[in-house]
Structure 1
Amino acid sequence: MHKEKNKFKRILWIVLTLLVLTLTGSTLYLQWYALEAGGNERGKNLETSYAFMYEHYPFLSHWVDSLQRANALRDTFILSEDGARLHALYLYADTLTAHTAVAVHGYTDNAVRMLHIAYLYNHDLHYNVLLPDLRFAGQSEGDHIQMGWKDRLDVLRWMEVANELFAPKGSQTRMVVHGISMGAATTVCVSGEPQPPFVNCFVEDCGYTSVWDEYAGELKNQFGLPAFPLLHLASWATRLRYGWDFREASPLEQVKKCRLPMLFIHGTEDTFVPTWMGDSLYAAKTGIKEIWHVEGATHADSYLKYAKEYTEIVKSFVERYNIPKDMNNLPSQ
């Protein structure tokens, strides 16, 4: 009887040890997979990023080439408060203007992969444009993808830089912040913070409600796994290692604090960031808001499918709301 009891204890100890090792390994893999993305080769490779954009948006090739020949597409770097070196592309409008757009890229992307939105604002609407590389992407430093949460603080700094670059002498810019996918989530997170006086409106295209919701959905879709316990453990490990967690990173909570107009864009066939997330963000936003459900569009391809309509809808929105606040006489909704 005593030997059988000891045998049972050994087996239980082995099982528990294997369970702990399995959960630890799975947690670390999930964190690596989601936040480090294999070193984010896609987001750091500028050559393949340009090739991708020219393949999907052929009109960009001639435009970018003309900008580069004129030295009009420029680089700028800043140091963050924690010492990270951050990079952005920027370009001036073809005429002197205060109108400015800050365009924020998505998950495992970089500034180059927002050149189609730069084209919309700079070529079509004659805006100044700044395109930041978020951390761990493009030419910006960093050790992980921040999923838009801590990125909001960097983007707020980039907004100040854009105002310094583009403001006509003695005045301020008239700024819109426009993000796609994770960049949309970043934009929504930015919108919940106190805003500089030169920011007038936001455009979010297919952003998620929270990092927790997005990862829970992908765990189920890609791996057939429930959120518990891996997501709980990975969130806890992210808190220990990087100082934030998946529930804290909530565009849904941030949008409730937004007091400026916002345009929501979401494809009706988006399964990566499901359409219901865009609807939830829209419902949570108080005040002035508009939404465009893009029929048949999947994730982050609304402009690709409907460039003319996309441009017209964004143009109509910013013409109404990207004006100095002391001139705003906006109806409440």
Structure 2
Amino acid sequence: MKKGFKYGLIVLFVLIVIAVFGGSSYMLGYSLTPEHNKGKDIPGSYEYMLSEYPFIKPWVDSLQTVGALRDTFIINPEGRQLHAIFAAAPEPTDKTAVIVHGYTDNAIRMLMIGYLYNKDLKYNILLPDLQDQGLSDGPAIQMGWKDRLDVLRWMDIANDIYGGNTQMVVHGISMGAATTMMVSGEPQKPFVKCFVEDCGYTSVWDEFSHELKGQFGLPPFPLLYTASWLCSAKYGWGFKEASSLNQVKKCTLPMFFIHGDADTYVPTWMVHPLYEAKSEPKELWLVPGAKHAVSYKDYPQEYTQRVENFVGKYIR
């Protein structure tokens, strides 16, 4: 009887371990290699953007007609081929914006912010595709952490393309905002002047914990812990390591924080510890009634004016 009970416990333990690791593996794939990665659909991305932001169509058409919206590729230190699109300002300038897209998005799905900088503010622009999105290679979405190193390279490329003596802002939305904040904690070149982050998360751990509870009603333990371990083993980084909050603490350049006050995907509360962790100079705009990543769509004129006012203090 005791022997049977002992074997039963062993079998139960093995089943629990298998279930936890199976669930963790599923969670990792669900999060980082989603079956439907809309960022891979280039024609669909153009169709989506022109339906959601019809006012950008004449600008996009004019750039494409004269071949001004161009492609460029680099190979990163891991041997991944990465892609970006870029367009010069209507008139020569050293003012340059690097614009970073969100989760399962791509450069095309950030063309509304490209419009803001290139059409409205007369900046040069460069919009990269992050790993495993758009036309960039990669084994999985990297949630901004490994992407921060790629974006630093794209910033150098943009500076070289536009004359080698630029004044640069980096502007990201959602995962792109987290990427921007992760970039901001690294040593910066003299041409980098400021950052704009729109609805970025405090850390991958916090965001996945929020989604795990919201979508599946589950606590962080044990799945999030084992999924983070699997991510570290498979991709070389863990969920807690990928922290926008820790990176922002190291940032000394100006940063503009934007977050919808009705955001439940990257919940609004996340912007407050980020803002508090950032040293001056900094600004915060809580956008009334805005859900996730739609602050520009809901308030295009005010969004443009506030961005212009902020970056105009540091880029002249």
TM-score w.r.t. the length of structure 1 is 0.93
What secondary structure does 2:250 align onto?
Answer: coil
- Does residue 61 (structure 1) correspond to residue 54 (structure 2)? The answer is no
1:329: which partner in 2? none
What secondary structure does 2:33 align onto?
Answer: helix
Which of residues 309, 314, 322 is equivalent to 2:307? 314
Unaligned runs of 5+ in 1: 324-333
Which of residues 71, 74, 91 is equivalent to 1:75? 71
Which of residues 14, 19, 31 is equivalent to 2:16? 19
Query: Which amino acid in 1 is paired with 2:29?
Result: W
**Which deviates the most, 21-30 or 40-49?**
40-49
How far the C-alpha of 1:20 sits from its partner, in A, is: 1.4
Q: Distance in 2 between matches of 1:319 and 1:287?
A: 16
What secondary structure does 1:234 align onto?
Answer: helix
What secondary structure does 1:90 align onto?
Answer: strand
Q: Distance in 2 between matches of 1:240 and 1:74?
A: 37
How far the C-alpha of 1:186 sits from its partner, in A, is: 0.4
Runs of 4+ in 1 over 3 A off after TM superposition: none
1:243: which partner in 2? 236
Per-residue CA deviations over 1:138-162 (Å, capped at 9, x if unaligned) read 0000011111111100000000000
Q: Distance in 2 between matches of 1:271 and 1:204?
A: 17
How far the C-alpha of 1:62 sits from its partner, in A, is: 2.2
2:109: which partner in 1? 113
1:8: which partner in 2? 5
Which of residues 32, 41, 47 is equivalent to 1:45? 41
Q: Distance in 1 between matches of 2:132 and 2:192?
A: 26
Per-residue CA deviations over 1:70-109 (Å, capped at 9, x if unaligned) read 1010000011111110000000000010000000000010
How far the C-alpha of 1:14 sits from its partner, in A, is: 2.3
2:260: which partner in 1? 267
Unaligned runs of 5+ in 2: none
Q: Distance in 2 between matches of 1:322 and 1:254?
A: 23
What secondary structure does 1:256 align onto?
Answer: helix
What secondary structure does 1:260 align onto?
Answer: coil
Q: Distance in 1 between matches of 2:298 and 2:279?
A: 30
Q: Distance in 1 between matches of 2:14 and 2:252?
A: 51
- Does residue 200 (structure 1) correspond to residue 193 (structure 2)? The answer is yes
Counting matched residue pairs gives 316
Q: Which protein is bigger by CA-based radius of gyration?
A: 1
What secondary structure does 1:208 align onto?
Answer: coil
How far the C-alpha of 1:65 sits from its partner, in A, is: 1.3
Which of residues 196, 206, 211 is equivalent to 2:204? 211
Per-residue CA deviations over 1:224-281 (Å, capped at 9, x if unaligned) read 0000000000001111111100000000000011010000000000011111111111
Which of residues 145, 151, 156 is equivalent to 1:149? 145
Q: Distance in 2 between matches of 1:31 and 1:272?
A: 18
What secondary structure does 2:49 align onto?
Answer: helix
Per-residue CA deviations over 1:33-62 (Å, capped at 9, x if unaligned) read 111112x53111111111111111011222
1:304: which partner in 2? 297
Query: Which amino acid in 1 is paired with 2:149?
Result: L
Which of residues 263, 269, 274 is equivalent to 1:281? 274
TM-score w.r.t. the length of structure 2 is 0.98
Q: Distance in 2 between matches of 1:262 and 1:27?
A: 35
1:30: which partner in 2? 27
- Does residue 91 (structure 1) correspond to residue 84 (structure 2)? The answer is no
1:252: which partner in 2? 245
Q: Distance in 1 between matches of 2:272 and 2:291?
A: 15
2:154: which partner in 1? 158
1:326: which partner in 2? none
How far the C-alpha of 1:63 sits from its partner, in A, is: 1.6
What secondary structure does 2:44 align onto?
Answer: helix
How far the C-alpha of 1:11 sits from its partner, in A, is: 2.0
Q: Distance in 2 between matches of 1:311 and 1:41?
A: 29
